[in-house]
Each structure stands twice: as structure tokens, then as C-alpha cells.
Structure 1
């Protein structure tokens, strides 16, 4: 049998995986050798491990996460869905990179902001602003968060708000690219949501001012020259959704116990609820079930994110990852809550 074994150097040459990578994948339990010499620690592999090693080499080159590599080797029939999801993430990352590079070109080449015009559906924009308004920051020390970010995509306008502890986003359908990448100040957001706007809104950006005119009147505000935080990587969080009845969850939050915590940054106190996410759904409170993932969340933030929705999904990848709240009927709408650290048992 030993004559059939391949040393680690030979497997490296046959598979394209560096020796250091083979050692790493052994330690990680992805590609363990069949024999390890007890005296020298030298690793030996079966010839049949050449093909899996080549698979790992290819997946390593495209940056597939370690857990996904392990899953592909353990269950090849699941590989298509795993790889398709990764390609989707890569394509989204490339689109993000193009947007960032476009912004760099714009900053380098433009000394003045040219006048810009576009038209948006009034009801859709007002609806979107309503949906994300709760996540707008009122902290004067964070001017780049004091409003709602309007971010153009192909055929869509993404509407985003965040106060660093949560994020809410949805989209507005458009006929083309409205060419907007700006923070709509809070006062303009409130003026639009409190007005009666129908039909379309004529939007003009000129000399640092945005003017939105429609049947319900005109809203005008100064546009701050700020960089909104990079948010697009958060759009993919929470890939294992758990269905939940929003009304039942609201009732459970109202009835369930809470813990009080204080934010070190600003001294604000808030109530924390524990959520348990498991195969049987979502429940409020601690859990002794090791299969249930328990996470702490700001109770008021969660209630605001739930809104008046009916059926939703909640998803979290691990206890320190953001909690993602989605409406299955509207995949463009997403709320994200940063978890609250739970140091002490409830």
C-alpha cells in the first residue's frame, strides 16, 4: 500500500495546491492525509485524493469560503447551489467595485457638480422613504447618516437608511438610470412623507441643492457633500431564513421579558430581547436547545423593523452576525439589526 501513497510534495505537484495549503486543509479537516509518519510527521495521500485536491485548488482560487469547500467535498450533489451562490456574490462584488471606481473617476475628474434632472414615481418614492425612515440617524456627529441615501441601480433606485445599529433598505422602480447617488436630508424626507404627492416628481440637483416638484408641491433642501457608508455587502447577510408570523412575534415581544443595557458610546439605555432561531421557528426568550441560535436584539428596533407586516423571514448566520428581516413577497425590502452582546444569562 505504501508504494501507492503520494507524498505531500507529489500531491502538491499533481493538484496545484501548495504544500503549505495542503497542511492548512489537513488542519482544517478538509483534505486530511491517509497516513502521517509518526516520527517525521510527513503526510501521505491516496492517489484517489488527487481529484478532490484539484477541486479544492480551483475553489481556493475563486475564494470560496472554507465551510463551503468542506460542504462541496462532503456532498458533491449540493455543489451546484453552493457554487451558484458564490458566483452571485462575486458578480455583486464586481458590480460594487465598478461603482466605487466610477465614483473615484467622478471625484478626480469633476471640480463642480453639474446640474442633473430625473423623474421618479411619487407614490413609490414616498412609500420607500416611509419604510426606511425609522433607521435614519439623528446624531449630529454623524452627518453622513442624517438622511436617506438614494443610490441608483439599473432600472432601480435603492433607498437606504442606517444609524450604525440597524439598516433598512428598499427600492423604487424607474424607467432608466436616474443617476442619483446622494443623501436626501432628513427634513426633505419628512416633508415628502408628510405631503400628498401623486403622479411623478421632477427632481433637479443644482449647485448643492435638490428640488423635488410634483402635484403635492415642492420640497427643496441642501445636499450635503458626504460619503454614505459602504452597505452593499450587508445585502447578502442571513442566508438561512426562518419563516415567522410578524403579528405573533410582535405579541411575543410585548409579553416577553427584556434586559436593559446601556451603550458605552452615547450612554443610551435600551431594552434587549432574546430571540431563538431554530428549525421549528422563532421564539422570544432564552433556550437550552443547542440547535437553537440565540441572539440579543434591541427590542424597539426589532418592533420598528417588523412594522405592520404579515409573513416575514428572519435569518442570522451566527450570534455575532447581523439579523436579517425580509418580506418573502418583496425581496427588495430588507431590514438589518446588529446583534447585542449577551454576556450574562437571562
Structure 2
């Protein structure tokens, strides 16, 4: 193969020749051209034929390998333009793949359990009331209010060893918290928004008894009883997001809130529904998180929905922010509480900071 490349090192390669050398089919090369990942060196204006430099053979092979492992096009484009960033991008992607495999194993285990236990059963256990209310309050702001997204209209309760994970997402952000418990339980359901709000409006102490039976969840305690039908929906897989951005930068939440409030913002609107929102720019280095521009030339500048970020900053006094690159989600964690996490999708910035 090296001899074949050497024979054409001084001539342009047709798209068919590049396909045969690189292993990428012609249709894929056309697609990657349209996506701005691997554009040809020359396009014949009369015929539209694409021609490539011999040096693009290596790039085409890289694209082939990266797509086989499901790396997003934006990440591939970044690696080709700046190979020095490949390490962090590939490490983050490998983490997502490993988390996805663990999630798949868990789902298959649930399927086996469902097949082996076809009879309708009742699950009953208790949760500490203060922990449950705290967790629901921490994630409530991220619940999706769009009735067209029924599987997101509530808070997902998910059993884990030693705890129940509480999750909410509206597709633009994801927030989780946890409720510690020593009881064996089997819980994996969406608690509807109305039931969440009813619980948050009551005054509970001690413990809350949770009963799940016949498609209904009942939560009872000294603050009263809340009962709701469990929606027959599948909450989206979320576990691969929990390991995002493991390199964390500590910051003071109150100071960042004050800076966000004082700094000017940009107004953007979502393409799908026209909703407008205010965007703040963050400059993230290895040691600091600043609002606006930074004097550090290595700072990563990322746009974020200011309201969403302010809500995420309510999670504690001293937090950490992790960002793999400016187009990756931001992960905000409370180092004092293992399960407290907010994931925010970045906002594309059209103009340089």
C-alpha cells in the first residue's frame, strides 16, 4: 500500500482512487465533503469531479477509523484541523463508549429480570424524606415542560446500589441528584411533574413510604399522600453523560453568579421553536473559570445559556466545572456530594470573543 501511495505522490487523486486507497467508499467521501470534514483539493468546474492531494490519504484513513467507533463529525473535524487536541477528544469518547456499554449491560439485565418475572408485583420501601425532597428540588428546574415530550415530563427515579438516582432533562441540560437508602428496591420510573410539584409543596419529615403497584406510585408520610399514574414511557439513556469532563476546575459559585449577572450577554434563539435566551461566554483554563474574555491564550471559550448556568450554580458554594472542548457539554459537580451533577449543552458562538 505504501508503494501505491508513492506512485501517486506527485499527482492529484480522483475520488475513486482515493476511495480504493483509503478504504472509504465514494459515497462516504462525497458525504464528508458536504459535511466539511474532508473537502477535495480541487473540484473541476465543468464536470464537478473531485480531486484530492496524496497527503489526504492519511486523513481519509483517520476519518474511516474514527467513524467506525462513532466519533461525532464535529470532533473528527477538530482532530483533522488540530491533531494536538486528539488525545483529550478520544479519551472523552472512549469514556462515553465504556459508559454506554455498562448501560447496555444494565438494560439487558433488566430485560432478563422482566422476562423471568412476568407476574405483576408490588414494590414497597422507604426513603428519607429530607433527602428525597432535596433531590427533587435540585433537579426540578431541568424538567421538560413541552407536552410533546411525554417521556421527559417528570423526574426519573432510578435504582442503584445504595441509592436512588433522581434525573431530569429537557434535552438542553441534564441534572441529577441521589437519595441514599439501605433498603433493597426495584425502582425505574418517571414521576410525573404534577406529583413532583405536589411533593415539593408539602411538609415532610422522617421518611416517605413509596409503593409501586399496578402502574401507580404512592408516596406517603407525615406530610400526606401523593399518588400518581406511572407513565408508560422510556426515559432516554443518560448514564454515558455522567462521566463527561473528568478534568475539573474548581470555582466559587457565588463569585461566578455575580460575574454572570454583571457581564453583558448575547441574545440567541433556538432554531426549532424560536425561543430566545441570553448567552454568556465563559473562558475556562486549567485553573480558573471566568466570564467573558481571558488573558490566557490557552483558555477555552464556550457559550452557555445564562439562566441554565445560574440554576446549575445553586448546587453548592464550591463547585467544579469540566469542559473537554468548546463544543462538548459542560459538567458542573459538587465535590462534596458524589451524585450532584448538572450537564449543560454549549451554545455555538458565531462571533469570536
TM-score, structure 1 length as denominator?
A: 0.73
Q: Distance in 1 between matches of 2:166 and 2:156?
A: 6
Shift of the alpha carbon at 1:331?
2.1
Q: Is 1:318 matched with 2:308?
A: no
Q: Distance in 2 between matches of 1:155 and 1:287?
A: 42
Match of 1:252 in 2: 259
Match of 2:103 among 96, 102, 121: 96
Q: Is 1:141 matched with 2:148?
A: yes
Q: Distance in 1 between matches of 2:119 and 2:222?
A: 31
Shift of the alpha carbon at 1:106?
4.7
- Structure 1 segment 33-48 matched on structure 2, within 5 A: none
Q: Name structure 1 gaps, 5 residues minimum.
A: 1-6, 9-22, 25-40, 42-62, 66-82
Secondary structure of the equivalent of 1:303?
A: helix
Q: Distance in 1 between matches of 2:228 and 2:322?
A: 37
Q: Distance in 1 between matches of 2:185 and 2:191?
A: 14
Match of 2:188 among 178, 181, 191: 181
Q: Is 1:204 matched with 2:211?
A: yes
Match of 1:342 among 323, 341, 349: 349
Taking structure 1 as reference, are residues 250 and 319 closer, same or farther at Cα in structure 2, changes over 3 Å only? same
Shift of the alpha carbon at 1:119?
1.4
- Structure 1 segment 131-280 matched on structure 2, within 5 A: 131-280=138-287
Q: Is the 8 A contact 1:156 1:177 kept in 2?
A: no
Shift of the alpha carbon at 1:104?
2.6
Spell out, residue by residue over 1:104-127, the C-alpha distance to the aligned partner (whole angstroms, 9 max, x if none): 335556666422212111111111
Q: Distance in 2 between matches of 1:333 and 1:91?
A: 21
The alignment yields a C-alpha RMSD, in angstroms, of 3.6
Match of 1:286 in 2: 293
Secondary structure of the equivalent of 2:351?
A: coil
Shift of the alpha carbon at 1:92?
4.9
Q: Is the 8 A contact 1:313 1:325 kept in 2?
A: yes
- Structure 1 segment 3-152 matched on structure 2, within 5 A: 92-93=99-100, 95-106=102-113, 108=115, 113-152=120-159
Shift of the alpha carbon at 1:290?
3.1
Shift of the alpha carbon at 1:95?
3.7
Q: Distance in 1 between matches of 2:139 and 2:126?
A: 21
Shift of the alpha carbon at 1:278?
0.9
Q: Is the 8 A contact 2:123 2:185 kept in 1?
A: no
TM-score, structure 2 length as denominator?
A: 0.71
Q: Is the 8 A contact 1:153 1:177 kept in 2?
A: no
Shift of the alpha carbon at 1:289?
4.0
Secondary structure of the equivalent of 2:255?
A: helix
Match of 2:16 in 1: none
4+ runs deviating over 6 angstroms:
85-91
How many pairs does the alignment contain? 285
Q: Is the 8 A contact 2:125 2:183 kept in 1?
A: no
Q: Distance in 2 between matches of 1:112 and 1:140?
A: 32
Q: Distance in 2 between matches of 1:315 and 1:88?
A: 14
Q: Distance in 2 between matches of 1:302 and 1:125?
A: 23
Q: Name structure 2 gaps, 5 residues minimum.
A: 4-21, 24-54, 56-68, 72-90
